[in-house]
């Protein structure tokens, strides 16, 4: 893995050798397209890799090195109190001709997740609620590697596309408790679309993903160690399997697909619908791969948009919806002795439903020198999480509203400035919770602190600035900075990020 990023960068750079395809593409035109709010909103169409061909007008390659520091005292304790990280990323999309496009991306990130408690695994959002947990925790170091690539080709009225990606994660702690997690995520998407009546395209795509995580927990100190819980949701845990098992293997598959239809020339209207199913097993490797629990998740998504272009003004509206239900099943065991467990049944105890829909508007005005864009948005979120026995539940209904504004200024053929400012507020207008009194004060405290965060109103402000310029060695360089501030009743979260790179 040490040489993974270097090899990927070489491959991506090699794919961009055909410079003659970019002769008529000025850097400033690429910059305007890269930051275009209109392009970013319509990007949901590229869920189908066949639609990459006309997603951009210009070939583009970007490289950047970045660092980020965040402090998040208001956050789920299982996700930590912030991150310190640095990394590098390279992305390239090359239009080989008017019918063929190739693209690839490679990145490497290293850092630490601060003060992670009640979670000794990585990829919490994928494997929850079945994590190994303890009340001590600590900073978790990590390394992330990723690579993806794709190909799209027009054949008469059809367009075919394929894309694949691979992600690998290593997370660990070098003081007790000492988890070591190695995770891998591979995905493949294939799609096609067809030009109908010369005006719009109808497409379909299918995807499949494989996920694995190996978890190992150890202690060096001989002075004793904290209780290790095999969590099962909302502070509940499997008493039989807690306190003694320190190894686990997570194996999951997901599969799905979608349908879409959109206006062929400039994509001024579109409609996408998709479905995805995810299954994950937790196996206890110390006990002959004993299957402890299983997750079944189903997700429905849709997006739609309509845009109008009247000279120097582009305006429109879009909507994105998501409905996800995660079910957790626990297997029941007969414990004949300390090394022999016999499965005697299973029961579905955990359920987590999230429904959301967000509406966005777009107003974009300006000329080749100066462009202003405004995106007002409004989102509704409903979340219901429950554990059947002993009864536990959280019910939340939220409204989020705000706006993002962008000012993009071109000074000459080598200099450009993008400024994005945003302000939003989140209001929890309905909330309800019931927690099982487990008799463990530390678990009860964790549940109450998490719920205080989940049910809190807050407002958020952000500022994102990128300046592109010519440098003696790197002709098309840029520097960027981002700051985000979130204000809760009990405190505030902050994020600071800086990046430098090049676009060509």
The pLDDT > 90 percentage for the chain reads 76
* Whether residue 253 has pLDDT greater than 90: yes
Per residue in 149-181, pLDDT (tens digit) is 999 999 999 999 999 999 999 999 999 999 999
Comparing 19-33, 57-71, 195-209, 463-477, which segment has the lowest mean pLDDT? 19-33
If one counts every other C-beta atom within 10 angstroms of the C-beta of residue 437, the result is: 11
Number of folded domains that form the chain:
1
* Whether residue 204 has pLDDT greater than 60: yes
Q: DSSP secondary structure string, 51-88?
A: GGGGT-SS-EEEEEEEEEEEE-SSS-GGG-SEEEEEEE
DSSP assignment, residue 227? P
**Element at 453 (helix H, strand E):** helix 441-454
Neighbouring-strand partners of residue 66: 87, 499
Average pLDDT on 228-242 reads 91
* Whether residue 306 has pLDDT greater than 50: yes
Per residue in 259-296, pLDDT (tens digit) is 999 999 889 999 999 999 999 999 998 888 889 999 99
Average pLDDT on 180-194 reads 97
pLDDT at position 6: 45
Average pLDDT on 488-500 reads 94
Q: Give backbone dihedrals phi and psi of 37, rounded to 5 degrees, phi first.
A: -60, -35
| CA dist., res. 402 & res. 424, Å (int) | 4
pLDDT at position 288: 80
The pLDDT > 70 percentage for the chain reads 93
Domain extent at residue 176 = 4-503
Neighbouring-strand partners of residue 147: 106, 166
pLDDT at position 339: 64
CA gyration radius, the chain: 25
b/e per residue 194-203 (b: at least 16 CB within 10 A): eeeeeebbeb
pLDDT at position 338: 61
* Whether residue 21 has pLDDT greater than 50: no
Q: Which residue has the tokens 């849709």?
A: 302
Tokens representing 135?
């009340």
Give residue 255's Cα distance to chain centre: 17
Neighbouring-strand partners of residue 161: 152, 191
Q: How confident is the model at residue 335 (pLDDT cuts 50, 70, 90)?
A: confident
Per residue in 93-151, pLDDT (tens digit) is 999 988 999 999 999 999 999 999 999 999 999 999 999 999 999 999 999 999 999 99
* Whether residue 12 has pLDDT greater than 60: no
pLDDT at position 3: 41
Q: How confident is the model at residue 4 (pLDDT cuts 50, 70, 90)?
A: very low
Per residue in 385-444, pLDDT (tens digit) is 999 999 999 999 999 999 999 999 988 767 899 999 999 999 999 999 999 876 789 999
* Whether residue 1 has pLDDT greater than 90: no
């Amino acid at each position: 893995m040490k040489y993974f990023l270097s090899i990927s960068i070489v491959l991506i750079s090699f794919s961009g050798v055909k410079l003659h395809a970019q002769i008529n593409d000025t850097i400033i035109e690429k910059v305007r397209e890269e930051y275009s709010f209109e392009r970013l909103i319509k990007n949901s169409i590229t869920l189908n890799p066949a639609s990459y061909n006309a997603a951009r007008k210009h070939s583009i390659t970007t490289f950047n090195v970045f660092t980020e520091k965040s402090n998040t005292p208001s956050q789920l304790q299982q996700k930590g109190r912030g991150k310190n990280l640095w990394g590098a990323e390279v992305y390239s999309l090359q239009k080989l001709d008017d019918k063929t496009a190739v693209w690839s991306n490679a990145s490497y990130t290293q850092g630490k997740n601060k003060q992670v408690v009640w979670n000794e695994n990585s990829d919490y959002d994928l494997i929850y609620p079945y994590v190994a947990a303890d009340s001590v925790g600590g900073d978790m170091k990590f390394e992330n590697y990723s690579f993806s690539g794709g190909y799209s080709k027009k054949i008469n009225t059809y367009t075919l596309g394929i894309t694949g990606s691979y992600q690998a994660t290593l997370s660990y702690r070098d003081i007790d408790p000492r988890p070591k997690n190695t995770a891998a995520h591979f995905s493949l998407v294939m799609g096609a679309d067809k030009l109908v009546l010369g005006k719009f395209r109808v497409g379909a795509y299918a995807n499949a993903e494989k996920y694995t995580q190996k978890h190992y927990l150890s202690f060096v100190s001989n002075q004793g160690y904290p209780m290790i819980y095999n969590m099962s949701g909302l502070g509940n845990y499997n008493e039989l399997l807690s306190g003694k098992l320190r190894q686990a293997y997570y194996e999951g598959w997901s599969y799905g697909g979608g349908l879409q239809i959109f206006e062929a020339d400039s994509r001024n209207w579109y409609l996408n619908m998709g479905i995805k199913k995810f299954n994950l097993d937790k196996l206890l490797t110390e006990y002959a791969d004993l299957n402890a629990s299983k997750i079944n998740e189903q997700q429905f998504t849709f997006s739609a948009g309509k845009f109008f272009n009247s000279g120097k003004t582009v305006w429109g509206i879009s909507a994105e919806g998501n409905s996800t239900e995660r079910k957790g099943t626990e297997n029941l065991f007969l414990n004949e002795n300390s090394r022999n467990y016999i499965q005697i049944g299973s029961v579905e105890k955990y359920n987590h439903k999230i429904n959301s829909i967000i509406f966005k508007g777009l107003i974009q005005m300006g000329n080749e020198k100066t462009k202003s864009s405004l995106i007002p948005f409004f989102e509704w979120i409903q979340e219901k999480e429950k554990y059947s026995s002993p009864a536990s539940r959280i019910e939340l209904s939220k409204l989020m509203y705000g706006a993002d504004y962008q000012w993009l200024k071109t000074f000459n053929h080598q200099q450009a400035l993008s400024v994005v400012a945003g302000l939003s507020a989140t209001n929890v207008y309905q909330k309800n919770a019931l927690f099982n009194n487990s008799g463990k004060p530390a678990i009860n405290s964790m549940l109450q602190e998490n719920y205080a965060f989940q049910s809190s109103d807050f407002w958020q402000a952000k500022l994102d600035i990128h300046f592109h310029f010519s440098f003696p060695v790197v002709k098309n360089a840029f520097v960027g900075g981002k700051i985000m501030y979130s204000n809760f009743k009990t405190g505030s979260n902050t994020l600071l990020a800086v990046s430098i790179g090049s676009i060509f």
